[in-house]
Copies of this chain bind each other. A is one copy, B any other.
């Protein structure tokens, strides 16, 4: 591995940097251990120590070392720099540094840069009512939690997109590097335009150990490690050592060198737009885990081993020896040289702090809402499809949406603040109108046969849902807007990432200084009912169930039944903030039910009676509810069958776009008040509910509603294979015949005519199934079915 042998620092500079580092280390240890006596003005007593010691020391000194050296570079070069740390449990480091530089006190005036503030800083860390032990939304300068490992690098790359002046120093822990999402995200460098995007400086922190094991990358030898990183498209520079004085020189020289190299790559690309992709520099920092902490405790080696991962000294309140060791450790940083008697950092430290927004704890990109500008959204009427009568025309909803997204892209081109993300599926999901105005980002080799690839493309495609999600989160958190389209079944790949983002949003909503960011918008398409061709592995509508466990104020779920409702929903979501919006909509040709005006009204209400499909005259025999495009189609087909075969039956059709309307108002901000719910769903009539996903979810949302005992839900019950579209609904008892039978079985007193109708429906179902097995296709009467009642109902 390359090493830079320059020694750019004078002795005074080494001493100054080291003092800053010692101060950060002191403040880190203080946070983990101390309740009071922050300046050690009196001898350390057991009661000065926290009763519960919670924090991670192992990674912290390395993070501190990097922070002070990055500050040096920021000052020297007036850099616009953010710090993303994969080892997010190294929270004490970031709290320490942001306090030292003043960002913390600017954000939290009750934690000033003095002795009082230092005591507050220490006490609140990992303390009830205080701040978490990890880097979290509460910490200024951060966009990255790091509690769940693997996303640092994709977040960093998302942040630098369209921020050509920004450099994100991204620390990758060598533990984190073993995760799949991190392993995939190294390749993000093939999606960066050195002219119009900023730069990520990855810093692999090779401190050697995880909680209980050595790390793989620390134990494969330098040759394999170098090959691996070069194979990922980087030029790794090694900084290696355990003598702080030598590491200061080496790290300063290396940071100078890699920043020069980054500047060179960027200026070369600007000079010659056709210049081929170059490998970006990165740093491998090999320093001991728990560096400068206790070397040995109770005869066991701590520093430089996995035992330094969390709290190296325990039982401090009860063991006088450990208490003495702690005091010795704290005093080893010579706090009296670092802070004046008021607790304020001494001038030598303050002189090293970058100015204002250049401080990494105050970089506005890390509080993206500050920088965010709303998207310009074109008038929906330009994209809406004409619907003379319900069901009289068909469109591919996502294809029409693609034309809208295309023009959103174009309308905001001057701001360069909108991107579309997807795992190789943007065209498959029929959003390819986007390629009329932009391309797919691609900075690797291009062949003449390739289409729509360009280094400055604004559609981000990589076959990694994790990387797409990480990029998008980084992009949103730094104040921009995005759209993620994904096969419905495979969005489960990012379940856990969504959890973390939902948690982040939940906390930031409680922090007034964190400004709202644009919502995370999912379009889940190629959904369970239209993956008949790919089969069982591609059929899973459970992402909705997953997200609704998160905080109600953060989660929105929409099931637009046709093209115009999809347009209306999409425009609404793109203008929203601080939500996770999940939209499920098909890409296949699909009946249009509502014109734009009706669609916008319906979406605004979230659910409602479709009068044109109902004949209940205000007093239904049955409510047929539906949510999702295919269930809506089957419901309406069932209605038409019932109208014909059970005349006189009074059916009310209710369509649900905004799933959260089903919950009580006490449970979700969108929840329909009980009186309204009762007015629509009745309190005593059977409800046959055709639902897109797993049927139990509807029960879970409505169990407190008065008419719940009459609710009967059909949905996906995990039956599927490679087959026809209609066979899919038949297999799951969601087909029109079965829904009609459900109605007959539940409405009392329908008489002999209904008995005959029921038998006819059973026979039809059998006939269709037999045809499918014989011919491998659906009967034309299903494929070409259309709502027959427009004349009478309009």
Say whether A133 contacts B507, CB under 8 Å: no
From 7 to 66 in chain A, residues with beta carbon under 8 angstroms from any chain B beta carbon are: 35, 50-52, 54
From 713 to 743 in chain A, residues with beta carbon under 8 angstroms from any chain B beta carbon are: 718, 721-724, 727
From 485 to 535 in chain A, residues with beta carbon under 8 angstroms from any chain B beta carbon are: 489-490, 492-493, 495-496, 499-500, 503, 506-507, 533-535
Say whether B490 contacts A449, CB under 8 Å: no
A773 at the interface (CB under 8 A from B): yes
A349 at the interface (CB under 8 A from B): no
Say whether B721 contacts A132, CB under 8 Å: yes
A228 at the interface (CB under 8 A from B): yes
Residues on the B chain within 8 Å of A148, using CB? 489-490, 493, 537-538
Q: Give the contacting residue for A52; candidates B181, B718, B721, B776; CB below 8 A.
A: B776
Q: Give the contacting residue for A150; candidates B180, B187, B442, B776; CB below 8 A.
A: B180
Say whether B54 contacts A722, CB under 8 Å: yes
Q: Chain B residue with minimal CB distance to A185?
A: B180
Residues on the B chain within 8 Å of A181, using CB? 180
Instruction: Please give 11 more A-B residue pairs, beta carbons under 8 A apart, in addition to A134-B537, A136-B536, A699-B703.
Output: A128-B724, A175-B424, A180-B467, A184-B184, A211-B424, A212-B427, A214-B446, A227-B227, A492-B496, A503-B537, A551-B718
Q: Give the contacting residue for A428; candidates B176, B211, B499; CB below 8 A.
A: B211
Residues on the B chain within 8 Å of A427, using CB? 211-212
Interface string of A543-575 (1 = CB under 8 A from B): 001100111000000000000000000000000
Interface string of A679-706 (1 = CB under 8 A from B): 0000000000000001011011001000
Interface with B: A238-246, A381-389, A456-464, which one? A456-464
Say whether B233 contacts A231, CB under 8 Å: no
Residues on the B chain within 8 Å of A697, using CB? 700
CB of A444, distance to nearest CB on chain B (Å): 4
Q: Give the contacting residue for A219; candidates B132, B147, B445, B464; CB below 8 A.
A: B445
Q: Chain B residue with minimal CB distance to A500?
A: B537
- A700–B183 CA distance with the chains assembled, in angstroms: 38
Say whether A126 contacts B700, CB under 8 Å: no
- A130–B425 CA distance with the chains assembled, in angstroms: 27
Say whether B537 contacts A220, CB under 8 Å: no
From 435 to 466 in chain A, residues with beta carbon under 8 angstroms from any chain B beta carbon are: 440, 442, 444-447, 449-450, 453, 461-466
Q: Give the contacting residue for A463; candidates B178, B225, B453, B550; CB below 8 A.
A: B178
Residues on the B chain within 8 Å of A492, using CB? 495-496, 499
From 185 to 238 in chain A, residues with beta carbon under 8 angstroms from any chain B beta carbon are: 185, 187, 190, 210-216, 219-221, 224-233
Q: Chain B residue with minimal CB distance to A180?
A: B180
CB of A302, distance to nearest CB on chain B (Å): 11
Residues on the B chain within 8 Å of A545, using CB? 545-546, 549
From 569 to 624 in chain A, residues with beta carbon under 8 angstroms from any chain B beta carbon are: none
- A301–B448 CA distance with the chains assembled, in angstroms: 12
Residues on the B chain within 8 Å of A464, using CB? 178-180
- A670–B534 CA distance with the chains assembled, in angstroms: 32
- A703–B708 CA distance with the chains assembled, in angstroms: 9
Q: Count the A residues whose beta carbon is within 8 Å of the partner chain — how many?
A: 120
Say whether A507 contacts B490, CB under 8 Å: no
- A727–B132 CA distance with the chains assembled, in angstroms: 14
CB of A125, distance to nearest CB on chain B (Å): 8
- A225–B228 CA distance with the chains assembled, in angstroms: 9
Say whether A462 contacts B424, CB under 8 Å: no
A540 at the interface (CB under 8 A from B): yes
- A337–B4 CA distance with the chains assembled, in angstroms: 66
A129 at the interface (CB under 8 A from B): yes
Q: Counting chain B CB atoms within 10 Å of each CB, which of A126, A179, A534, A718 scores highest?
A: A179
Say whether A776 contacts B51, CB under 8 Å: yes
Interface string of A74-90 (1 = CB under 8 A from B): 00000000000000110
Interface string of A414-428 (1 = CB under 8 A from B): 000000000011111
**With A180-B179, A187-B178: A213-B722 Cβ-Cβ less than 8 Å:** no
A149 at the interface (CB under 8 A from B): yes
Q: Chain B residue with minimal CB distance to A499?
A: B540
Q: Chain B residue with minimal CB distance to A137?
A: B536
Interface string of A384-426 (1 = CB under 8 A from B): 0000000000000000000000000000000000000000111
A362 at the interface (CB under 8 A from B): no
A772 at the interface (CB under 8 A from B): yes
CB of A485, distance to nearest CB on chain B (Å): 12
Residues on the B chain within 8 Å of A213, using CB? 424, 440, 442, 453, 461, 463
Say whether A180 contacts B466, CB under 8 Å: yes
CB of A549, distance to nearest CB on chain B (Å): 5
Residues on the B chain within 8 Å of A35, using CB? 776
Q: Give the contacting residue for A537; candidates B136, B210, B219, B718; CB below 8 A.
A: B136
A145 at the interface (CB under 8 A from B): yes
Q: Which 9 A-B pairs have the closest CB atoms?
A: A228-B231, A147-B537, A180-B180, A227-B231, A183-B183, A219-B444, A492-B496, A178-B463, A180-B184
Say whether A128 contacts B187, CB under 8 Å: no
A108 at the interface (CB under 8 A from B): no
Say whether B461 contacts A133, CB under 8 Å: no
A127 at the interface (CB under 8 A from B): yes
- A536–B492 CA distance with the chains assembled, in angstroms: 21
A164 at the interface (CB under 8 A from B): no
**With A227-B231, A444-B216: A722-B133 Cβ-Cβ less than 8 Å:** yes
Q: Give the contacting residue for A132; candidates B149, B507, B536, B540; CB below 8 A.
A: B536
A294 at the interface (CB under 8 A from B): no
**With A210-B463, A211-B424, A718-B550: A216-B228 Cβ-Cβ less than 8 Å:** no
A305 at the interface (CB under 8 A from B): yes
Q: Chain B residue with minimal CB distance to A127?
A: B776
A542 at the interface (CB under 8 A from B): yes
- A495–B546 CA distance with the chains assembled, in angstroms: 10
Residues on the B chain within 8 Å of A442, using CB? 213-214
Residues on the B chain within 8 Å of A376, using CB? none
Q: Chain B residue with minimal CB distance to A541?
A: B549
A775 at the interface (CB under 8 A from B): yes
A268 at the interface (CB under 8 A from B): no
